[in-house]
Every structure is written in structure tokens, then in C-alpha cells.
Amino acid sequence: MNPRQRSAILVVILFALALAMGLGFGTARPGGGGVNPLSSTTPPNGEPSPAPKVVVVARGVNSSYLYESSSYPTIPSYMLVPLNGIRVALSDLNREGDSFRTRAPAITLRTNATGMAYVMVAPGNYSATVSGPNFSLNTTLFLVDNTTTTIHLELDPSASAVKTMSVVSPDVLASVEPGTKISALLGTQSAPDTGFAELLGYGPTTAADGIGLAQYAVNATVVGSYPGAQGYWAVLSPSGSYPTYPSSGLVLFQFTPSLQVKTTVG
């Protein structure tokens, strides 16, 4: 056998060995190296893991049901309406130890006309701040893949009967008071909370068919209170100018926000 024949036979043997090794270990992937199953984001069934979903549902009592809602320990669903513009800020707690420059910015959501908001985020621990014009609440969310976390916000009214009310006009000459103040004697033995409130009642009106009563509502802020002989006096600062104030059937409503968080798979 001449040297050229021996060389040809050697080439064939080397090709056969290379082919056998390729069949035994599989075709190499571009970039080199095999896939590490510990770092794969694909579960055994071959479907990619969906990111965590956060859903916000915000509801409050319809103003036309305020009087009726005060007689229910739990507000019926037909009295609730969607709350638009509720703000939800999500901040990644896993980045709390980082510097200000590298900290992940908050994700901000606002509910739409249906009272809902929706977002998909990365897994992790988040602080959630739910706020409206007159309240702010905080909670913590633990978000993992393939879950839906729903934040339910509800503004529940609490009613206090008003025994008597007096309207104090500003002292124009001395310019002591910046605006009108209302003192309302509540039939309670505990001080009301400061914050947003709504004063409802009836007052005289001149209708086309004669003199009657109309319902009036005054949006105000409880700025303070003090005890009296027959209960607590609430000091109210109206949010604007009201030409007519209610004078009978007075009830002061304050609104307490509550959060309920539920997590489901999928």
C-alpha cells in the first residue's frame, strides 16, 4: 500500500470517529457549551413562565346611597360604584439597599373609569402605596411567577348624626379666619377623625310648584374637635363656597379606606 492510499484510509477513519462523537453528544449550540437547566426560565412542560400580574379594583359608595348604606354592617355591592383616578405606586423592596441612582423607580398605576388598573412586573417583594385625594394606605406584596395579585380598595362611609350645627362666617374686619367654619355637634362620645367628610341634610327651596325641601351636600375637612356636654363638636372647613347649607336631617359622613389583597395562581 502506497503512502497516498494510507493517507486516504486515515482520513476516512478520522471522519468516522468524528461522526460517532457527534452522534453520541449531540450537535453543539452556537456560542459553545450546553444549556444549564438550573438557569433556564422554561419549565419542564416547555411553556415559558408568565410574569406576575397585579390588578387593582377600587370602589366606593354611590352618593345617592349614603343614607341607606349607614344601616348596613356590610355595604351591598349594588351601592358601590367604580373609583376613577386612584393612584397605586409599586416599589421594589429588593433594591432598598442600593444607592439612589441605581434604585428601581416606582411603577405608577391609576384606575380608569371602570375602577381598575393592571400591570405585569418582575417577581420580587414590593411595597404598594394606594392613595386618593384624601387618603393613603400602604401594604406589601410578594409577587412570584404565574400568579395574579388583586388589590381591592373600598371606601366605606361611617355616619354620625348631627344634633345641631352653626356656621361661623369670616371676620372680614379683623381678617382672622381665612374661610367659613362649621361647628357640628355629633351624637357620639368619641372624637371624629380628622380628614375628608361630607355633610348631608335638607334645607328649604323654592320649587316651581311651591316651597319644599331639597337635599344639600357639603364637602368639607374635619380640622379638629372638642368635647361638649352632649357629645363631641366637629370643626369643619368646607372645600368651597356654598350659598345654602342644610338645616335639618343632618348627618356627617366620613370615609374609611380599606385594602384586601388576594393572590391566585394563573
CATH of 53-156+257-265, one of 2.60.40.10, 1.10.150.120, 3.40.630.10, 3.40.50.300: 2.60.40.10
Residues near 246 by Cβ (< 8 Å), separated by ≥ 6? 199, 200, 201, 202, 203, 215, 216, 217, 218
List the chain domain ranges: 53-156+257-265, 158-254
Strand runs labelled E in the chain = 53-61, 80-82, 87-92, 107-110, 116-120, 124-132, 135-143, 147-168, 181-186, 195-207, 210-228, 231-238, 248-265
Q: Find the mean pLDDT for residues 172-183.
A: 60
Look up residue 85 and give its DSSP letter.
T
CATH of 158-254, one of 2.160.20, 2.60.40, 3.30.160, 2.40.30: 2.40.30
* CA 189 centroid distance within chain: 32
Residue 225 exposure: Cα atoms within 13 Å on the Cβ side? 20
Q: Which amino acid is at 263?
A: T
Task: Give the pLDDT of residue 128.
Answer: 95
Percent of the chain with pLDDT over 90: 37
Task: Give the pLDDT of residue 209.
Answer: 55
Q: How far apart are CA 70 and CA 62, in angstroms?
A: 12
Q: How far apart are CA 150 and CA 127, in angstroms?
A: 14
Q: Find the mean pLDDT for residues 51-75.
A: 88
Q: Find the mean pLDDT for residues 127-133.
A: 92
Which range is least confidently modeled, 93-97, 192-196, 207-211? Answer: 207-211
Task: Give the pLDDT of residue 4.
Answer: 57
pLDDT tier at 6, thresholds 50, 70, 90: low
pLDDT, mean over the chain = 78
Residues 216-226 pLDDT 10s: 888 898 999 99
SS3 (DSSP) at 7 = helix
Q: How far apart are CA 174 and CA 198, in angstroms?
A: 29
Q: Assess contact for 83 and 113: CB atoms under 8 A.
A: no
Tell the residue number behind the cell numbers 417583594, with chain if given. 125
Residue 11 has pLDDT above 90, yes or no: no
Q: What are phi and psi of 265, to 5 degrees?
A: -80, 135
Residues near 167 by Cβ (< 8 Å), separated by ≥ 6? 180, 181, 182, 245
Query: Cβ atoms within 10 A of the Cβ of 122, count?
Result: 12
Task: Give the pLDDT of residue 26.
Answer: 37
Residues 161-176 pLDDT 10s: 999 998 876 554 443 4
Q: Which amino acid is at 94?
A: N
The total number of residues written for the chain in this structure: 266
Look up residue 111 and give its DSSP letter.
-
Task: Give the pLDDT of residue 172.
Answer: 44
Residue 86 has pLDDT above 80, yes or no: yes
